[in-house]
């Protein structure tokens, strides 16, 4: 028996050394082949190691038992545990109950229920496939990916990790949940800059904000940047925020959503729509303080009601609870039925009930009233 196994063991070790590295280092060899021609061996206490040109480790994997095949160099392993290195330092620890292991000296592949943990920040990536490309500084975990961290939980089809940059790219049906602020992001591609505590989406996305596990607000955009530290989200390109209480929709090309102070603001043209009252207000810029249920609008403000009654001004404060509008600067109130126009410096009232008080300026103190004849209304 000793003479029978010795040539196979020597052949295995010589073949692996010829491929580069020290693969594998076997503490015990206690198995047999089904035939002397298929070159399948089972090892106990297997240690796989690979080094870079400077002699620094780039991975080390140990297993209680593993099978060796010509095609994979190492096959199915039980309870594999290992470490992935970058610049000689451990960047991820990996483990699995059972996994298929392949390596070619430059890349390491694992298939099975695999856990990869970053010991520096506690990120855990779970998936059914793992690929380590040390020369590219790239760790790929795919196939039912589940990422967890004290700051973020994410589901996706794939995660690509750049260890030096401390960056994770999630792609494919991404669903990311944050505990503080309590929110959920859905998109097709999400970049997590770990050190900066930022989430960047360069594809259309949806953000649901929660309070007491209930959705309160929803944001959308073609791209976005979320700062988990300051709890703010910047929504870009066809951006909108929808509120449930009060039922409001805010639309602009660029918006800042502060989830800490519950404020939505924009310096770009904005449209605010109150669904229950059927009132739409447009302006050059605006801000809404959600807890106070107050909207501040500035520049070419135009508020339009359900019956086409309108109020134009330079600035407008909209008190949602009181259903009250306060306009200032070059105020023009127009009513369709009966057809009336009022011009002044300030206006206060309820647009829905058409109860508006227009006042003149300090200089003249006059309000200009125009009664429109019915013939003009009918276009005659």
pLDDT digits (tens, 9 = 90+) for 277-331: 899 999 999 999 999 999 999 999 999 988 889 999 999 999 999 999 999 999 9
Q: How far apart are CA 93 and CA 60, in angstroms?
A: 10
Q: Which token pair is 90?
A: 């451990």
Domain presence at residue 287: yes
Which ranges of the chain would DSSP assign to H, the alpha helix?
A: 2-18, 374-377
Reduce the secondary structure of 108-171 to three states and give it as a string: EEEEEEEEEECCCCCCEEEEEEEEEEHHHCEEEEEEEEEEECCCEEEEEEEEEEECCCCEEEEE
Beta bridge partners of residue 255, listed in sequence order: 235
What average pLDDT score do residues 142-154 get? 94
CA pseudo-torsion sign 340, 341, 342, 347:
positive
Check which CATH number belongs to the domain holding 282 and give it.
2.60.450.10
pLDDT in tens, 196-234: 999 999 999 999 999 888 999 999 999 999 999 999 999
Domain count, the chain: 1
pLDDT in tens, 262-291: 999 999 999 999 988 899 999 999 999 999
Domain presence at residue 207: no
Domain presence at residue 180: no
Q: How far apart are CA 91 and CA 112, in angstroms?
A: 20
pLDDT in tens, 62-82: 988 888 776 656 678 888 999
Q: How far apart are CA 62 and CA 329, in angstroms?
A: 76
pLDDT grade, residue 362 (50/70/90)? low
Domain presence at residue 319: yes
pLDDT grade, residue 380 (50/70/90)? very low
Domain presence at residue 169: no
Domain that holds residue 314: 269-380
Domain presence at residue 315: yes
Is the confidence at residue 4, as pLDDT, over 60? Answer: no
Domain presence at residue 75: no
Cis peptide before 338 (omega within 30 of 0): yes
Q: Which of 93, 162, 95 is nearest to 122 (CA)?
A: 93
Domain presence at residue 220: no
Q: How far apart are CA 130 and CA 113, in angstroms?
A: 9
Q: How far apart are CA 251 and CA 239, in angstroms?
A: 6
Provide the 3-class DSSP secondary structure of residue 211: strand
CA pseudo-torsion sign 312, 318, 321, 322:
negative
Is the confidence at residue 23, as pLDDT, over 60? Answer: no
Ramachandran area for residue 349 (φ above 0: left; ψ -120 to 50: alpha; else beta):
left
pLDDT higher at 83 or 357: 83
How high does pLDDT run on average in the chain?
Answer: 84
């Amino acid at each position: 028996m000793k003479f029978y196994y010795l040539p196979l063991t020597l052949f295995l070790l010589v073949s692996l050394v010829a491929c580069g590295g020290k693969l594998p280092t076997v503490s015990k060899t206690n198995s047999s082949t089904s035939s002397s021609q298929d070159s399948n061996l089972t090892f106990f206490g297997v240690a796989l190691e690979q080094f870079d040109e400077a002699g620094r480790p780039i991975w080390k994997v140990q297993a209680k038992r593993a099978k060796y095949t010509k095609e994979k160099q190492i096959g199915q392993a039980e309870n594999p545990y290992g470490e992935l290195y970058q610049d000689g330092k451990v960047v991820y620890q990996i483990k699995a109950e059972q996994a298929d292991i392949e390596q070619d000296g430059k890349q390491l592949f694992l298939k099975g229920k695999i856990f990869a943990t970053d010991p520096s920040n506690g990120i855990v990536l779970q998936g059914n496939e793992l690929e380590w490309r040390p020369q590219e500084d790239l760790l790929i975990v795919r196939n039912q990916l589940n990422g967890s961290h004290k700051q973020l939980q994410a589901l996706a089809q794939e995660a690509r990790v750049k260890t030096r940059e401390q960056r994770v790219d999630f792609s494919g049906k991404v669903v990311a949940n944050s505990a503080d602020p309590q929110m959920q992001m859905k998109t097709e591609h999400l970049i997590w800059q770990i050190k900066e505590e930022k989430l960047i989406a360069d594809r259309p996305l949806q953000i649901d904000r929660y309070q007491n596990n209930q959705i309160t607000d929803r944001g959308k955009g073609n791209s976005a940047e979320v700062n988990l530290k300051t709890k703010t989200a910047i929504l870009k390109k066809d951006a909108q925020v929808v509120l449930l209480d009060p039922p409001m929709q805010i639309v602009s090309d660029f918006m800042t959503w502060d989830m800490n102070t519950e404020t939505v603001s924009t310096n770009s043209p904005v449209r605010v729509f109150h669904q229950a009252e059927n009132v739409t207000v447009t302006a050059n810029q605006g801000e809404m303080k959600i807890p106070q249920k107050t909207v501040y609008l500035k520049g070419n403000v135009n508020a339009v009601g359900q019956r086409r009654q309108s109020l134009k001004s330079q600035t407008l404060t909209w008190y949602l609870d009181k259903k009250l509008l306060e306009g200032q600067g070059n105020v023009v109130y127009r009513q369709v039925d009966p057809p009336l126009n009022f011009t002044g410096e300030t206006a206060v009232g309820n647009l829905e009930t058409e109860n508006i008080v227009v006042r003149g300026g300090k200089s003249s103190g006059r309000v200009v009233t125009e009664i429109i004849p019915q013939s003009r209304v009918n276009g005659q």
